[in-house]
Amino acid sequence: MAFPLPPAMRLALDLSRDAAAAGEVPVGAVVTRDGAVIATSANMMRGSNDPTAHAEIVAIRRAAEATGSSRLDGLDLWVTLEPCAMCAGAIALSRIARLYFAADDPKGGAVVNGPRLFTQPTCHHRPEVYTGIGEAEAATQLRDFFAGRR
C-alpha cells in the first residue's frame, strides 16, 4: 500500500519538475515550520549563472530572510535529492532541525554517501535525517532529465 506524500515533499517534487522544464537539474527544496511553508526553491544555477544556487541553498537563504534570522532552529528542509557537501554544510550552519530527502545521490551526496558530513566530528550541528520519501518519483525525474541530455 502506497502512502500519500507529505505536502512539503509533494511541493518539492513539483518544483523539481518545473526546474527540469526550465533546463535546470531537477531538484526542489521546501523549508517548513510545523508543516507551514516558509520558503521554497528549485535549482537555479544555469538561469542565474551562480554555481551555488542549488535548491537547498536558495531555500535556506529565503527562509533566513523570511524569519529574520540566520539560525533556522526548529525548521525542516524537504529536498528531492540527497544534499551535496556545500548544501549539507549550509544545513548544519543554519541549524535546520530535520532534513527529509527523496533520492540518494551516490555520486555527489554528502549525507548518507560520500563524506557523510553530519557524522564528522567537526560538524557542530546534526539534523535528524529521513530518507527515501518520494524516492521513486525523484529518481525518475533525474533519470529522465539526464537521459534527454545524452
Q: From first to last of its 150 residues, what are the pLDDT tens digits of the chain? A: 567 899 999 999 999 999 999 999 999 999 999 999 999 999 999 999 999 999 999 999 999 999 999 999 999 999 999 999 999 999 999 999 999 999 999 999 999 999 999 999 999 999 999 999 999 999 999 999 999 776
- Binding positions for Zn(2+) are 54, 84, 87
135 is catalytic: no
Strand partners, 101: 79, 131
Site of grid cell 528531492 = 80
Q: What whole-number distance in Å separates Cα of residue 26 and Cα of residue 23? A: 8
Site of grid cell 532541525 = 97
* 3-state class (DSSP) for residue 89: helix
Total Cβ atoms within 10 A of residue 23: 11
Three cell numbers written together for 67 = 524569519
pTM: 0.96
Q: What whole-number distance in Å separates Cα of residue 140 and Cα of residue 39? A: 25
Q: Which of 56, 65, 82, 135 is catalytic?
A: 56
> Roughly how many angstroms between the first and final C-alpha of the chain, as a whole number?
35
Total Cβ atoms within 10 A of residue 93: 15
